Amino acid sequence: MEVAALCKKNHQSEVEPLAVLSGKTIANIFYENSTRTRSSFEMAARRLGASVLNLDTKVSSVAKGETITDTARQLVSMRVDAIVQRHSASGAAAHVATELGDKVQIINAGDGWHAHPTQALLDFFTMTEIRGSLSGARVAIVGDILHSRVARSNMWLLTKYGVDLNVAGPPTLVPAGLESFGVTVHNRLEPAIEGCDFIMVLRLQMERQKQGLIPSVGEYKKLFRLDHARLQLAAPGVRILHPGPVNRGIEITDALVDDESKSLIDAQVANGVAVRMAVLYLLLTGKESVQ
Ligand code: CP
């Protein structure tokens, strides 16, 4: 987090990009759509002086049957130093890392429903900017927990730092056994957000709702959409996070997304660059701090 704070200062200043990763090449391989993660990794790499190779997976040889490991292997032969990979299959980044991790840094930019580590890091960074230590902070993650890699990564991270963490969603969108993460599970929004310092709202993954996991979007909105009235239950200074993309009016009201006194959504996006600069710097220099 200290390195990310220094990276943020650099990124926000008018100074020239750093040259600490000069001569290094970062490859972005995104098999799933992305606005924030891919752009911020690219910006972070350039800000540190690295070159960026964006593989266009729609016209790559994956479409001809090449495996994702072989695809990554080609880029390793071209001497890329890190691969930032997003894939719809849980475990995809770990799989490629098992095969090629001795030759290249593999960074997971989201794998299926499993994990989105740099998103959790930027969420953590954004909350600590507001509150300092998160030990004892009350945080709720609400919505489509089942399909959310962001929820899982945040559960792993926040519980390690002493956060009192609630998760809430309709029973069909909350997997069984989450208590083993050290979180409290709710199937109603109101008790989950009571007294919370931060509420992280998740996107209702519309593309996955055809399986009939919720009766209707209208009912979901009635029971789980966060608005200013429900926010009265939270702590007075409560702040709202959302990893994006936002379904305005479905999981959160338009007015709340745009309420700068409550919403940290723009800050999360800005911090994504700083946190990813820190990740690239630490991984590719092997240092443990800025020297
Ligand atoms: N938060 C997030 O992963 O956004 P993108 O899908 O736009 O990268």
pLDDT per residue as tens digits for the range 169-189: 999 999 999 999 999 999 999
179 CB contacts (<8 Å, ≥6 apart)?
A: 185
How many angstroms does the Cα of residue 247 sit away from the middle of ligand 1? 13
pLDDT, tens only, 75-114: 999 999 999 999 999 999 999 999 999 999 999 999 999 9
Residue 70 pLDDT greater than 80, yes or no = yes
Asked if 147 and 110 touch (Cβ cutoff 8 Å), the reply is no
Spatial distance between the Cα atoms of 229 and 226, rounded to a whole number of angstroms: 8
Write the CA distances from 143 to 129, 169, 187, 204, 207, integer angstroms. Answer: 24, 5, 10, 7, 15
| pLDDT value for 209 | 67
| Mean pLDDT calculated for residue range 224-244 | 97
pLDDT, tens only, 142-171: 999 999 999 999 999 999 999 999 999 999
| pLDDT value for 131 | 97
Q: Furthest-apart CA pair in the chain: how many Å?
A: 56
Kindly indicate the confidence band of residue 31, based on its pLDDT and cuts at 50, 70 and 90.
very high
Q: Which residues of 244-264 are buried (b: 16+ CB within 10 A; e: fewer)?
A: eebbeebbbbeebbeeeebbb
| pLDDT value for 217 | 87
pTM for the predicted model, two decimal places? 0.95
Spatial distance between the Cα atoms of 150 and 124, rounded to a whole number of angstroms: 12
63, HSE (Cβ side, Cα atoms, 13 Å): 6
| pLDDT value for 243 | 98
Counting beta carbons within 10 angstroms of the beta carbon of residue 184, is it exposed (0 to 12), middle (13 to 18) or buried (19 or more)?
A: middle
Please name the residue whose Cα sits nearest to atom 3 of ligand 1: 37
239 CB contacts (<8 Å, ≥6 apart)?
A: 127, 130, 197, 198, 199, 262, 263, 264
Q: Is residue 219 within a helix (H) or strand (E), and if so which, with residue range?
A: helix 217-224
| pLDDT value for 30 | 97
- What is the bridge-based pairing of β-strands 138-142 and 51-55? unpaired
Asked if 230 and 190 touch (Cβ cutoff 8 Å), the reply is yes
* DSSP helix/strand/coil, 153: helix
Asked if 227 and 255 touch (Cβ cutoff 8 Å), the reply is yes
| pLDDT value for 59 | 84
| pLDDT value for 216 | 85
Residue 12 pLDDT greater than 90, yes or no = no
- Which of 34, 152, 246 has most ligand 1 atoms within 8 Å of its beta carbon, as the pocket-test mutant? 34
Kindly indicate the confidence band of residue 212, based on its pLDDT and cuts at 50, 70 and 90.
confident
Structure tokens, 211: 């399986």
Average pLDDT, the chain: 94
Ligand 1 close to Cβ of residue 246 (< 6 A): no
How many angstroms does the Cα of residue 291 sit away from the middle of ligand 1? 31
Q: Is residue 125 within a helix (H) or strand (E), and if so which, with residue range?
A: helix 117-131
Please give the backbone phi and psi of residue 218, each rounded to the nearest 5 degrees, phi first.
-60, -45
Q: Which residues of 211-221 are buried (b: 16+ CB within 10 A; e: fewer)?
A: eebbeebeebb
Kindly indicate the confidence band of residue 190, based on its pLDDT and cuts at 50, 70 and 90.
very high
Q: Which residues of 34-65 are buried (b: 16+ CB within 10 A; e: fewer)?
A: bebbbebbbbbbbbbebebeebebeeeebeee
Ligand 1 close to Cβ of residue 263 (< 6 A): no
Spatial distance between the Cα atoms of 40 and 37, rounded to a whole number of angstroms: 5
- Which of 36, 122, 149 has most ligand 1 atoms within 8 Å of its beta carbon, as the pocket-test mutant? 36
